[in-house]
Amino acid sequence: MQKRLIPSLVILLFLSSCYQPQRDCKVFKDGKFTFTSTIGDQEVSTVFVRQGDLEVDYFQGKVDSSSVRWINDCEYIVKKLHPKNKAEEKSVHMKILTTTDNSYTFEYNIVGSAKKSRGTAIKTN
C-alpha cells in the first residue's frame, strides 16, 4: 500500500506546483469597479472609475480624483490630485495578484511602507 501511496503523492505535488493563477491584468486598466472593505465593524463600499491616467473615487457621497501611473501591466501607483492632509499626499502602490473574468485580487501599500493589505475589486461594466 505504501509503495503506491508515495509515488502518487509525489505526482500530485508535482502537478499542483505547476498551477499558475490567472493574471490577465490588461482588461482591468480601464473601467468601473467596486471595492468593499471593513472599517471598524462596518462594511463600506467604494466605487471607482479608472480611465487612462485618471481614477475617480466615489466614497460615502464624496468624490475624489487621483493620478494613475502604470509601472507594468499589473502594477501601478495612485496619487491623490487634491490631497486634504499629509496622509493623503502619500502615493499608494497597487499590485494585481490574480484575476477572474470580472474581478481582480490586489495587494496595496503606502509607498515606502512595508505593511501591505489585500482586497478584491469587481468590474461592474
Identify the CATH number of the domain in which residue 38 sits: 2.40.128.490
Number of domains present in the structure of the chain = 1
Mapping DSSP to helix (H, G, I), strand (E, B) and coil, where does residue 94 land? strand
What residue has cell string 466614497? 59
Strand ranges in 1-125 using DSSP code E only, listed in sequence order: 31-39, 42-51, 54-59, 62-72, 75-80, 92-99, 103-110, 117-123
Please indicate, yes or no, if residue 40 is contained in any of the structural domains: yes
Please indicate, yes or no, if residue 16 is contained in any of the structural domains: no
| Predicted model pTM | 0.79
Q: Distance between CA atoms of 86 and 117, rounded to whole angstroms?
A: 20
For residue 99, give its domain range.
Answer: 22-123
Please indicate, yes or no, if residue 78 is contained in any of the structural domains: yes
Please indicate, yes or no, if residue 1 is contained in any of the structural domains: no
- CA-based R_g, the chain, Å: 19
Residuewise pLDDT in 10s, the chain (125 residues): 556 666 665 565 555 555 566 788 999 999 999 998 877 888 889 999 999 999 999 998 999 999 999 999 999 999 999 999 998 899 999 999 999 999 999 999 999 999 999 999 999 98
* Single-letter amino acid, residue 114: A
Please indicate, yes or no, if residue 39 is contained in any of the structural domains: yes
Cβ 14 vs Cβ 99: under 8 Å:
no
Q: Distance between CA atoms of 52 and 20, rounded to whole angstroms?
A: 28
